[in-house]
A = this chain, B = another copy of it.
Amino acid sequence: MALRHAVLAALLDGEYSGYQLAKAFDVGVANFWHALPQQLYAELAKLEREGLVSGRQIVQETRPNKRLFRVTDAGLAELERFAADAPRPSFMRDDLVVKVQAVDGVADPAPVIEQLLERARVAEAKTELFIGLLGRLRGPLDEAEFLARGERVGPYLTCLGGIGFERAYLEWCHRVVALLRAREEARRG
């Protein structure tokens, strides 16, 4: 039951439609939570029924109509309650890590190496994206200034976390690839 809180947290930035949220929670982008569009539409409907968000219809002519949502006072109270709750520990569940764990049980490590390289490219792309986002968040201020006196530092901090995570992942990918290649050469040569 934390998707609801992720949605509420995202809506602290302003009004968004399900579609816009879906992009923010997308596979390639999501710096603090991931969810599919279907989940978001369902969750928004539920949150609205419970009075934690309120939506208003925007009639558009050249495009489909949309509904913009904002957090209600009850929603803010729910977030406050959530923040004070004991967090459930977060879990590692990553296909690629399982493949590396199993890498010396399989005959051919080549596909794993390929996937590590692809994941490294993804990490680099995400990092650049995040760095751009940091710049937009902090506006004209420099980082120290923004962090000390900016109004909304939450997204900035999670973005910094995302960069740190991606850099750690990138380094690991490179290290594992170098090692698997060295072992392959040793085996053949």
Residues of A within 8 A of B (CB): 2, 5-6, 8-10, 12, 27-28, 30-34, 71, 76, 79-80, 82-84, 86-109, 111-112, 115, 119, 122, 147-149, 151-155, 157-158, 160-162, 164-165, 167-169, 171-172, 175-176, 179, 182-183, 186
Contacts and interface: CB of A to CB of B under 8 A. Distances in A.
Contact of A158 (B101, B149, B165): B101
A161 B154 contact: no
A84 B111 contact: yes
A-side interface mostly = helix
Contacts of A108: 80, 83-84
Contacts of A28: 89
B2 A152 contact: no
Contact of A104 (B8, B92, B106, B153): B153
B153 A164 contact: no
Contacts of A176: 157, 161
B83 A9 contact: no
Contacts of A172: 160-161, 164
9 contacts: A6-B101, A33-B94, A80-B106, A80-B107, A83-B99, A92-B162, A147-B179, A149-B186, A164-B172
